[in-house]
Amino acid sequence: MIPDCYILGIIAFITIIFTTFNPFISAQSQSIPFRVGTEPTFPPFEMPSEDGSGLQGFDIDLMKAIGNEVGLDVQFESMPFDGIIPALQTGSLDAAISGMTITAERGRTVAFSSPYFKAGLAIAVQENNDTIKNFDDLKGLKIAVQIGTTGAMEADKIPNAQVISFDSVVLALQELVNGKVDAVVNDAPVTLFAIKEAGLQGVKVVGELVTEEFYGIALPFNSEKVMLLNYGLFQILRNGSYNQIYQKWFAGEPFVLPLIAPSLIGTTSTDFATNPLNNSNRQSVLSLLIQRLPQGAVVTLILTACSIFFGFIGASFIAFGLISHNPFVKNILRIYVEFFRGTPMLVQLFIIYFGLPAFFQGIGLNWSLERFPAAVIALSLNVAAYLAEIIRGGIESIDKGQWEACEALGMNRLQTLKEVIMPQAFRRVLPPLGNEFITLIKDTSLVAVIGFAELFRQGQLIVASTFQAFQVYIAVALVYLCLTTLSSFAFKWLEQKMNPVAQAKRKSASQNLNLT
Ligand code: GLN
């Protein structure tokens, strides 16, 4: 156990060293931007400023103050939290400040400044829940977390718990408000801020600071800026700026900070970061890929097949409506098609999954959709709009004379469609239908945002625990490629099978064979 070695003596020591080397600091060029990554949906640490023009929050003020102190031209770059470490690894960021907990695993991949904030996890539950008090009570329950966070890692350790990961903590909390999960495990200051300051209703915190964590500024593993940032941090701790920033965002006095995060004490620096694909790590990435990607691929295929099935049925009705003689039906359906083709699928998904339940709860109805039906509904509604136009085109491409001939034979419109027009039209729409299917396989990756563990999300989860973005996403891309290639073969085969000329050829060939 390390003592809470507060650092005034060490600060004094470092200050002396750096004052001696002051020219080094003033030589830091103000004009070269120092790119600092952050995930800006983590209030009060980072969030969009009120006028939306930039960022604000404790981390933002702190980083600016440190930058001022050491002469760095800090420029913030917003990105998803699980993308920060890969971005530091590739050098596309110079540093990152994002309420990031200093952990031993991360410490093997990136460098950390000295801790700048003491936090810990909290469990949030619905206000009327009296059964959950601590981690033990979460066994076997549904828990929402933010992907790649310490909350997610802690939730993963709970026996039999179903952990659903979201891109931001805001979405995880929304899931709790909508009653779709039993709890959210997340950093205490952020959940408390959401409830107390941002007016999140129907949610309470049980078990505040159930872990002890320290936030640090992350840098590329061999960055020589670590000392500089530490110096800046110590300076603002010493000259009172840190306290001022703390008081601006939190009540009370700041916690005592150790010089080194306890999680890093005792961990040895390995060659892991300089050679990230050392043998044992390569093996664990590989076994994770083998274990998880097939699961994800199956989910992706099921989602696509269900959505194309319902989408096709819906699209057929819409197409019949579009060619009907009723202007009212025609106009309504045209609006439908324009709406679903003219708005992003992601927005449609958010409306169906997060928006509708919130709306119904607002009017006193306790209604919500499970993840799978929500995803299938959103994808089917969208694909139906595209397919409707394709089917309509297919129907209209059949010669008008056939309608007249059927009418002369006494068939009604519906019979004509069913018996004569559709079988021919279906053959004509098969190639574009195949294209839609392939597009849909790729579009299913969008439903990862509602916590659906399909192929892409499985990849993200592997990256969150191994930090091997390149290898993992290449593997994910290859699996998508396999799925799309197989689908295109399947559609080619179907086209061939339904081609009357080829069918006739096959028939006569088999007859010839029988004769001989
Ligand atoms: N402190 C948590 C972590 O490092 C969450 C950080 C965040 O979501 N911005 O994992």
In this prediction, residue 106 carries a pLDDT of 95
- Closest approach atom of ligand 1 to CA 148: 10
In this prediction, residue 299 carries a pLDDT of 95
Quote the ligand 1 centre to 120 CA distance (angstroms): 10
Please state the rounded mean pLDDT for residues 310-319.
95
Closest CA to 124 of 115, 114, 133: 133
In this prediction, residue 9 carries a pLDDT of 47
Pocket residue to mutate for ligand 1, from 36, 55, 60, 98, most atoms within 8 A of Cβ: 98
CA 319 to chain centre: 34
Check if the beta carbon of residue 145 is closer than 8 Å to that of residue 121.
no
Average pLDDT over all residues of the chain:
88
CA distance 413 to 432: 25
Q: Is it true that 121-206 and 282-515 share their CATH fold? A: no
Level-2 CATH architecture, domain 282-515: Orthogonal Bundle (1.10)
- Closest approach atom of ligand 1 to CA 39: 9
**pLDDT > 90 fraction of the chain, expressed in percent and rounded:** 69
Residue 39 near ligand 1, beta carbon < 6 Å: yes
Angstrom distances, CA of residue 118 to CA of 128, 212, 262: 30, 7, 11
Residue 149 near ligand 1, beta carbon < 6 Å: yes
Residue 230 near ligand 1, beta carbon < 6 Å: no
Taking the CA atoms of 290, 291, 292 and 297 in sequence, report the sign of the dihedral they define: positive
In this prediction, residue 18 carries a pLDDT of 56
Residues 6+ apart with CB under 8 A from 396: 323
Better-predicted residue by pLDDT, 4 or 381: 381
CA distance 257 to 246: 13
In this prediction, residue 283 carries a pLDDT of 58
CA distance 313 to 200: 40
Of all protein residues, the one whose alpha carbon is nearest to atom 8 of ligand 1 is 149
- pLDDT over 90 (residue 21): no
Tell me which fold the domain 121-206 belongs to. Answer: D-Maltodextrin-Binding Protein; domain 2 (3.40.190)
Residues 6+ apart with CB under 8 A from 49: 55, 56
- pLDDT over 90 (residue 183): yes
In this prediction, residue 271 carries a pLDDT of 43
Residue 263 near ligand 1, beta carbon < 6 Å: no
Check if the beta carbon of residue 183 is closer than 8 Å to that of residue 132.
yes
Was domain 4-117+214-274 assigned CATH 3.90.79.10?
no
CA distance 33 to 283: 38
pLDDT tens across 343-362, in order?
999 999 999 998 888 888 78
Quote the ligand 1 centre to 232 CA distance (angstroms): 22
- Closest approach atom of ligand 1 to CA 186: 5
pLDDT tens across 268-289, in order?
554 444 444 455 555 588 999 9
Closest CA to 426 of 390, 400, 453, 458: 390
- pLDDT over 80 (residue 313): yes
Quote the ligand 1 centre to 187 CA distance (angstroms): 7
In this prediction, residue 5 carries a pLDDT of 44
Closest CA to 164 of 186, 143, 195: 143
Residues 6+ apart with CB under 8 A from 425: 391, 394, 395, 397, 398
HSE, CB side, 13 Å, CA atoms: give it for residue 89.
Answer: 21
Of all protein residues, the one whose alpha carbon is nearest to atom 5 of ligand 1 is 149
Residue 150 near ligand 1, beta carbon < 6 Å: yes
- Per domain, the residue ranges of the chain are 4-117+214-274, 121-206, 282-515
CA distance 121 to 256: 18
In this prediction, residue 446 carries a pLDDT of 93
In this prediction, residue 413 carries a pLDDT of 85
Lowest mean pLDDT among 78-87, 123-132, 253-262, 502-511: 502-511
Q: Strand order of the sheet with strand 110-112?
A: 73-78, 33-38, 95-96, 218-220, 110-112
Quote the ligand 1 centre to 309 CA distance (angstroms): 40
**pLDDT > 70 fraction of the chain, expressed in percent and rounded:** 90
- pLDDT over 90 (residue 115): yes
**Structure confidence at residue 211 as a pLDDT band (50, 70, 90):** confident
CA distance 482 to 188: 43
Lowest mean pLDDT among 20-24, 214-218, 364-368, 481-485: 20-24
Quote the ligand 1 centre to 102 CA distance (angstroms): 9
pLDDT tens across 415-457, in order?
998 899 988 988 889 999 999 999 999 999 999 999 888 999 9
Please state the rounded mean pLDDT for residues 160-169.
94
Is the whole-model pTM more than 0.85?
no
Lowest mean pLDDT among 193-202, 271-280, 422-431, 484-493: 271-280
